Amino acid sequence: MTDTDQAATKTLVVLGATSGIAHAYLRLIATKHPERRIILVARDMDRLDLVRQDIAARRQGDVTTIAAEIGKPSAITSIMSQIVDAVETIDECLLAYGALGEQTALQKDPATLEALLNTNFVSACLWLEALAAQFESQASGHAVVIGSVAGDRGRQSNYMYGATKAGLERLCEGMAHRFASARDIHVTCIKPGLVDTAMTAHLQPSGLLWAKPERVASDIYRAVRRKRVRIYTPGFWRLILLIVRTLPVPIFHKTRL
């Protein structure tokens, strides 16, 4: 059951471990690679502890948790050093936190907008540069970042969220380019479509476009093993977004997407 792939990473750090996708991914790792060292970082201690309990029971081993303000730019340096103190090397880091935001509130309230930008983009940039430095010193490491199909084209319904995810994707892309010649350093951007998690519970998930977090988790697992730079999950979103991106502006502007 445990595969003996040489590249199978040893230490997994999850930033935003209480997110639905991260939790599903952790369950998969707990089954497939129970030998891995796992460090979970999230803001809410109670929810984090429930994830810890679930993953520890599934893998029959300890899980380290750090409750911290991962989305707060000024806090990142100290959290990063806490993580490095705990594990020395970071073989894989999943960056899974983020907020959906509410478009009309973001348009009206600058403080809300600033908070979203800090959480989804500014802090993520700081995390990724901190990880990049760590990976360079280790000469290895894999950063896995949850982006979104919403980043593919700005739409009136959620362009602020989309812009942060688009920015994140460009960053991943550039960082993957930067490490193209480093054999063991990788960056993967995961672009999920509609996923049935707590983040989207208010949107009444049902219908063919909605995916379960377990499905997304297994796509992430495969993308990490194959060291992909970017994936859509489920895969059909690639086609949908191709269409959305290529719609001519006059037609696009007639839609309410």
Partner 1 sequence: MDQPVLSWGRTCRYTHEVRSLGRLGQTRTALFAGGKSTIFRGYGRSYGDVALNADGGLCQTRNSDNLLEFDQANGCVKAQSGMSIADLNAITIPAGWIVPVSPGTQFVTLGGAVANDVHGKNHHVDGSFGAHIMALKLIRSDGEELICSREKNMEMFNATISGLGLTGYIAWVALQLKPIASSNMQVETIHYSSLEAFFEISDESMDWPYSAAWVDCFSPLNALGRGIFTRARFLGEGELRAPQQTARLSIYRELPSMLLNKYTISAFNWLYMRRNGAQTLDRVAFHKVFYPLDSIAHWNRIYGRAGFFQHQSIIPMATSAPGVSELLRTIKASGQGSFLAVLKRHGPETSPGLNSFPLQGISLALDFPNRGAKTLKLLQALDDIAVAYGGRMYPAKDATMSPETYQSGYPNWTRLEALRDPNINSSFWRRVTQQND
59/186 with CB nearer partner 1: 59
Q: Distance of CA 143 to CAs 47, 187, 228, 230, Å?
A: 24, 5, 11, 12
Site for partner 1 in 22-61 (CB under 8 A): 23, 31, 44, 46-47, 50-51, 53-54, 57-58, 60
In the set 20, 71, 101, 162, which binds partner 1 (CB under 8 A)? 20
Minimum distance of partner 1 from residue 48's CB (angstroms): 9
For 144, the 3-state DSSP assignment is strand
Which region among 15-23, 86-94, 186-194, 220-228 touches partner 1 (by CB under 8 A)? Answer: 15-23
Compose the 147-186 pattern: x for residues touching partner 1 by CB under 8 A, - for all others: ----------------------------------------
Rounded Cα distance between 164 and 120, Å, is 6
Q: Are 124 and 168 spatial neighbours (Cβ–Cβ below 8 Å)?
A: yes
C-alpha dihedral, 191 to 179 to 26 to 83, nearest 10°: -130
Determine how many CB atoms are found less than 10 A away from the CB of residue 67: 16
Distance CA 6, CA 179 (A): 20
Among 198, 203, 209, 242, binds partner 1 (CB under 8 A): 198
Binding residues for partner 1, rule: CB under 8 A, are: 1, 18, 20, 23, 31, 44, 46-47, 50-51, 53-54, 57-58, 60, 197-198, 201, 204
